[in-house]
Amino acid sequence: MKKLIVFDLDGTLLNTIADLAASTNQALQACGFPTHPTEAYNYFVGNGINKLFERALPEEARTHENVMRVRERFIPYYNMHNADLSAPYPGIVELLTSLQAAGVKLAVASNKYQVATEKLIAHYFPAIRFVMVLGQREGVPAKPDAGIVDDCMKAAGVSAAETLYVGDSDVDMQTALNAGVDAVGVTWGFRPVAELQAYNPRFIARRAGDILDFLKE
């Protein structure tokens, strides 16, 4: 069994899309830009909030200034409302509990900004001990840069061969490749399974319990 499992957050541990959509839409509207249906955000998220805002803005309005305007409106609202509609995916709490009981070290590596990442993990998984919870931080490259996974491995004192990375998007699969660790792609998140399969992950999980079965092989 692997000694460390690093999880993506949005679309992997938590279904956060409704809160992300509502918070971005209120920021867009406040800045005079059109809004989008919730399902559109499945393809806007994944590369950090600045890229989210860039994708959500009209093509002709995708300037740094406008991204910063939307960000200024988004962050205080999302900090207050990021747990209104979000929830763990079915079986996730049980999966984390079982892994922790088996002595597997757990970590989170997200492109969500650090404050929100820490808040959501503390809120939804209070009984789980993570060796590291990392989000996007100023001056630190976002995924698919391997640095965030490297930091988790260093904190856990394990090698790449002893690490598994679990995520729901092409960004996650690229992150695992860049870090030299095995990847599990999960189908319950924001992106289609074909996007995951294009990167030949070690395993595709269609429900949380599949990850436990894979680790027993």
Triad 170, 214, 143: Cα angle to 5°: 25
Question: Is 217 in a helix, a strand, or coil?
Answer: coil
**Residue 97 φ then ψ, to 5°:** -65, -40
Query: Of 8, 19, 172, 182, which is the active-site residue?
Result: 8
Report helix, strand and coil shares of the chain as percent, to nearest 5.
Answer: 50, 15, 35
- In the numeric block, the tokens 């429900």 are attached to 207
- Other beta carbons within 10 angstroms of residue 192's beta carbon come to 11
- Other beta carbons within 10 angstroms of residue 164's beta carbon come to 22
What's the one-letter identity of residue 8? D
Task: Reply yes or no on whether 8 is catalytic.
Answer: yes
182 contacts: CB under 8 Å, gap ≥ 6:
2, 163, 164, 165, 176, 201, 202, 203
Residues with a catalytic annotation lie at 8
